[in-house]
Chains A and B, each alone.
Chain A
Amino acid sequence: MTVIKGITGTLLGMWTTWKHIFGRPVTIRYPEEKRIPSPRFRARIVLTRDPDGEERCVACYLCSAACPVDCISMQSAERDNGRRYPSWFRINFSRCIFCGMCAEACPTMAIQMTPDYEICNRDIMNLVYEKEDLLIDGCGKAPTYNYYHHAGIGVTQPRGTAAEENPPVDRRTLLP
């Protein structure tokens, strides 16, 4: 009985591998053929701009704090109108693990992941991306969002005229 079981087991295994010889390989010839990753694929990180063309990043350091491998660093600065921005912004892609925590942490949708996975390089210093390498001209995945339209601080419009905001109330009119 064990003999029959052993022989059939072996032959079944052989049959399985035989079928797989003619199956379609799951791997591809990479540089010639490329997979198209889904739009949500997490690869090269970019800094986006808002619909008005201003950079979205407000240099809040949340991405830097969320990053588990500490590959994001920046220096915050502020313009005269109160708008914050990073004076420099640096992502070290040789450390980045593409976890997407930074993009999740970002309150202004500035930092986003793109499906561009081909960023490997022979010189490791070329993987340290500065602000001008990271900043793109588009809005990325949030085409209409503008943080300052919702923020209630008078940067893009006078206070009290933002999207979910009521105009300031004159307290004197509330007196009995």
Chain B
Amino acid sequence: MTGSFIDIALMLGKIGLILLVILLLAAYMVLAERKLLGYIQERLGPNRAGWWGLLQPLADGIKLITKEDVKPAGADKWLFYLAPAMAAIPAIMIFAVIPFGPPLTLFGREVTQQVIDLNVGLLFFLAFSSIAVYGVALGGWASNSKYSLLGGIRGLAQLISYEIPLGLSLVPVVMLARSFQLSEIVAAQQSCWFIVYQPLAFIIFLISIFAECKRIPFDLPEAEGELVAGFHTEYSGMRFGLFFVGEYINIIVLGALAATFFLGGWHGPLLPPVVWLLIKVLAVAFLFIWVRGTLPRMRYDQLMHFGWKILTPLALVNILATGWFIVLKG
């Protein structure tokens, strides 16, 4: 009885810790992005709240919470209220399957440094990343605004054109690791990271996750130049904040997944495994911000063209080549 109690306490502790760390990271990701974009544009970025602007996330949070929560006339009330959560929660859920270290021994039992080691972790990720787009689409539809609707539709259309290359780029990883389980995939990269075997798959995966978290150059659902703010035009206060935080959680989660699938997960010399994972996540997040500071938004048809006519065939050829090599090697 006491044993199972400790199990539950450990599990809840892990979940609480991960939630805390992700939300904190997401909040500071906003600051990091604003700072970095500032430096890229030769500005200083936010520097009023706290030293070097370090209290800016807190100020943003207070501002968002105290703002009026506007619901447009004619909006679908329940969907309108539900959509931000539907965008943010799947992103957090994906973190459940990410391993951030080798199993530890605590209180005389083995504790995996992972919320749950699903044997279909990779499929779980693909499923939940697809669910996240419902938040965008339903939020856009429920707002009763043409800009929001266009943003939502773009979100959906974007989803079908990048989900396929995203899935296909992960197939070689599964072929190499011979498992859908993320802990197995990480274990298979102990000697050599998969990015060495699969540079093409990594690039396709990277481009797909840029589209997955709706960021420049694929921020078509938001497209502030054309659609005001796209799917979250009508949102205000903390509901908008939830969409916003969801986007940054998505960056962290996708960074962690890129690290897990291609960059050796938590493997690395000297430093503790969690630190290595964090470094890799932050490196990918830096790339996200860097690209945002560099590239313009792609046109809608260019994204479709790119996803269907270039990335999908490339990913398929890559799978064939990988299979061929695996067969030849025996």
Contact = CB atoms under 8 A, between A and B. Distances in A.
Interface string B136-154: 0000000000000000000
Interface in A1-40: 10, 13-14, 16-18, 20-29
A13 B295 contact: yes
A14 B291 contact: yes
Q: How large is the interface on A (under 10, 10 to 19, 20 to 34, 35 or more residues)?
A: 10 to 19
B190 interface: no
Contacts of B43: 25-27
Given A20-B39, A21-B39, A29 B291 contact: no
Contact of A20 (B41, B44, B291, B295): B41
Contacts of A14: 290-291, 294
B119 interface: no
Contact of A21 (B40, B44, B47, B291): B40
Given A14-B290, A23-B42, A29 B47 contact: yes
A17 B294 contact: yes
Interface residues of B, number: 14
A20 B290 contact: no
Contacts of A20: 39-42
Given A10-B295, A20-B39, A27 B290 contact: no
Given A10-B295, A13-B295, A25 B290 contact: no
Nearest to A14: B294
A21 B33 CA distance: 12
Contacts of B36: 21
A24 B42 contact: yes
B38 interface: yes
A27 B291 contact: no
Interface of B: 36, 38-44, 47, 290-291, 293-295
6 contacts: A13-B294, A17-B294, A20-B41, A20-B42, A23-B39, A29-B44
